[in-house]
Amino acid sequence: MTEVIKRSLRDSKAARWSALGIISITMFAGYFLTDVMSPLKPMLEAEFGWSSTSYGIFTSAYGWLNVFLLMLILGGIILDKMGVRFTGLMASGIMVLGAAIKYWAVTNPSLPTETILGIHSQVFFASVGFAIFGVGVEIAGITVSKIIVKWFKGHEMALAMGMQMAVARMGTLLAMAAPVPLATYFTSMHKVVVDGAIVEEVGPSISAPIAFALVLLVIGFIAFFIYVSMDKKLDASVAESGEVNNEEPFKLGDIGTIIANKGFWLIALLCVLFYSSVFPFIKYAADLMVNKYGVDQGLAGLIPSLLPLGTLFLTPLFGSIYDRKGKGATIMIIGATIIIFVHAIFSLPILNYWMIAVVLVMLLGVALSLVPSAMWPSVPKIIPENQLGTAFSLIFWIQNWGLMGVPLLIGWVLDKSNPGVALAKANGTEVPLYDYTNPMLIFTALGVLAVVVAFMLKAEDKKKGYGLELPNIQK
């Protein structure tokens, strides 16, 4: 048996880590576009007349097609039926298409003066592009997860997932730090309303960061073609080695088996609660720094960029600990507890010093390293490999309800909690600051629920013996 494993390409450390590096390029580009608009929220309001509700509609669009048209679940079934090569290329192409539509919407000068279905037309078309992109990046995410299981089973799986997430978070870091400098360096003409009249004026080029993101996505699309050739070699090496595959082919009936699994539901609930308390926060984090901590808009994105910076090192570290020592469920509990502390402090109407914000963001980065480093490698311990694509897609689908609904809720709560801001914008007078207390209390509540679910998952693991507290590396 040892002889067979040694002859498989996945047993080559250089091969499996090279494959991981290639697919990580695609996810880096995807994560960059996902958050590229976050630091631009004040510019969108000033240049295009977006409100917080408009921005909430746009950010919620990420999950429209995934949630309501079940595109993500369909993608998971396609993944289990067609394999990682076809699905990965399909997802990468969809990401490029969605980004192109989003870029067109932001660069079209006539859109800010029109409405569709009562929605700012620029918001509408940008949202459509973001929704299409959301389908691609989420299917790419589940595909990459299955690729890692394929290449790293029996090896450093949690470390590999942690490294892939670290590279992807670099995309988030760049999305926090780069958009405002790019937008201010380049300029473009905008139509704005001044004293009731529409005039054109030169302003920051909000489209420049999106154009940069589009280029990155094209590079990621090309990179996946390189991975396809490596994946073919892996399959050939497995066939030549005589390695036995005892997994049964995926059947549609397996969906019922997955959703009947209590462990699956606990992982899915933890996922949606945890990520809904982090990613929607990132969408508003730069605006929070301006309004609560008085940070200059040009620098506001730098503080949230510290969040993914910490994950670059900590996620692989915690993943390696899980690989070698175990304690996966315990790691998830600790991470979710940190979420509560961070958002509770953010919600206080005191301690409004930018250094406090820096410390809190760094702590949030620790939480964002802890939970995913243990959560995603735990899924293959609960779900058989032939069902992983569909299981991951169902988890991501449930997560998308939160990623769609929470940003919209936060935008609506901001406007309702701060009626003077919208009124001031409408009258063209000096805009007062947003009070972020209520949104941060919402994020805190999500953290509390995440901790409860994490404890339930640990109890279920003890009952069913999934092995979440055991090491991943097989000796």
- On the question of pLDDT at 335 being above 90, the answer is yes
pTM score of the predicted model: 0.76
- DSSP class of 475: -
Instruction: List the single range of 99-113, 119-133, 338-352 with lowest mean pLDDT.
Output: 99-113
Question: What number is the average pLDDT over the span 12-23?
Answer: 90
For 2-241+250-464, CATH gives 1.20.1250.20
Predicted pLDDT of residue 312:
76
Give dist(CA 227, CA 22) in Å, integer: 6
Distance of CA 337 to the CA centre of its chain: 20
Residue 397 sits at φ, ψ, to 5 deg, of -65, -45
Structure tokens at 120: 């700012």
Residue 64's nearest CA partner among 126, 128, 124 is 128
Predicted pLDDT of residue 247:
58
Domain boundaries, the chain: 2-241+250-464
| Predicted confidence band of residue 428 (pLDDT cuts 50, 70, 90) | low
Tokens 């302003």, residue? 203
pLDDT tens, position by position, 55-86? 888 888 888 898 888 898 898 889 888 889 99
Predicted pLDDT of residue 5:
43
CA triple 45-48-53, angle to 5 deg? 50
